[in-house]
Chain A
Amino acid sequence: GAVVSQHPSWVICKSGTSVKIECRSLDFQATTMFWYRQFPKQSLMLMATSNEGSKATYEQGVEKDKFLINHASLTLSTLTVTSAHPEDSSFYICSAAEPHQPQHFGDGTRLSIL
């Protein structure tokens, strides 16, 4: 149980393109989803917390207009990297949680901007 699916697993695109990443909880309803990014050899950095049906809460230093988060249902949250540039290249990971349960993570999306 507690499977979180993330899609796509990797994407390469040109600078200036917007990229959407999906995060789905497959066998449970996630009232809260979290988005992280991870640079090589570093730990995960929390970007934002999203609750179903409400606006996401962004961590300090994360541009909300750059990283658009939508959590329209209890099983789906999306992260859109708008007008992506090479410095946005990273490993993006989502997690999902039911109330009072541990977070479960997707397998990440490797984003490479050329």
Chain B
Amino acid sequence: LAKTTQPISMDSYEGQEVNITCSHNNIATNDYITWYQQFPSQGPRFIIQGYKTKVTNEVASLFIPADRKSSTLSLPRVSLSDTAVYYCLVGDRGSGNTGKLIFGQGTTLQVKP
């Protein structure tokens, strides 16, 4: 499974755009890139998933360069409630063991007023 590297922590202010970059140099051809958000004492919440180029949904955008060795999660206009740990994961979407995900340490985002 491809290992991911992301900053341990980031600070931002309300209303700003936040970009969290994740490195995954050993990403495999079948791997997708998925980002999750976790609040204390809760399970991770799916944010966005992509394979290449750009993906956008109602809460975030995911930018993936052509070589797919990194990805950037973009959160527009963050609020205090976006303070959480953000995990970047890389893995196959196949059934069974091929679909397992290995969590890294994640990025703790602190949004300040």
Q: Write the nearest CB–CB distance from B63 to chain A, whole angstroms.
A: 18
Which of A11-19, A42-50, A62-70, A80-88 forms contacts with chain B?
A42-50
Contact code string A83-100 (vs B, CB < 8 Å = 1, else 0): 000000001011101011
Residues of A near B102 (CB, < 8 A) are 46
Name A6's contact: one of B43, B46, B100 (CB within 8 Å).
B43
Tell me the dominant secondary structure on chain B's binding face.
loop
Name A110's contact: one of B41, B95, B97, B106 (CB within 8 Å).
B41
Q: Are A45 and B103 within 8 A (Cβ)?
A: yes
Give Cα distance in the complex from A15 to B102, angstroms: 30
Residues of B near A44 (CB, < 8 A) are 44, 87, 103
Residues of A near B34 (CB, < 8 A) are 102-103
Name A51's contact: one of B44, B49, B95 (CB within 8 Å).
B95
Residues of A near B36 (CB, < 8 A) are 105
Given contacts A6-B43, A107-B43, contact A46 B100 (CB under 8 A): yes
Chain A interface residue number, banded:
20 to 34
Give Cα distance in the complex from A2 to B44, angstroms: 13
Chain B interface residue number, banded:
20 to 34
Query: From residue 11 to 65 of chain B, which have CB atoms closer than 8 A to chain A?
Result: 32, 34, 36, 41-46, 49
Residues of B near A110 (CB, < 8 A) are 41
Q: Are B104 and A102 within 8 A (Cβ)?
A: no
Give Cα distance in the complex from A91 to B44, angstroms: 12
